[in-house]
Amino acid sequence: MAKTIASLNSREGAAPADRCRPNPMRLLTCATAAYTPLFRALGDETRLEIVGLLAACGQELCACEIESRFDLSQPTVSHHLRILREAGIVTAERRGTWVYYALAAGARARLRSFDALLGP
């Protein structure tokens, strides 16, 4: 009979010394949970393209410049930019009636730190 995930994670049948050790799977799960909003935001093709556009330009872009690169309505592009902003991937600065977006300074570092969690 195949073991279930619950039985694999159970420590009841383990030797006393094994019950005291932290479960490495549990530690990895706790450490990676902080990255969920980041990957949810990056889990859309349009948002990945927006991030790629901002990274390739290496400078801030007006929302209208971003919108012109996509065959999407303005509200749809604004929705994607809001999700990226809330996830801390892009920054936004309002200047009069225009909003300028740039890749957040820590975005690349957050991705590198996740890569470090995965190990060598």
Position 28: which residue type?
A: L
CA distance linking residue 100 with residue 44, whole number of Å = 21
Which residues have CB under 8 Å from 110's CB, separation 6+? 35, 38, 88
Global confidence as pTM: 0.70
Tell me the CATH number for domain 36-118. Answer: 1.10.10.10
Q: What is the mean pLDDT of residues 82-94?
A: 95
Residue where the block lists tokens 């991705």:
111
pLDDT tens digits, 96-112: 999 999 999 888 888 88
C-beta separation of 91 from 102 below 8 A:
yes
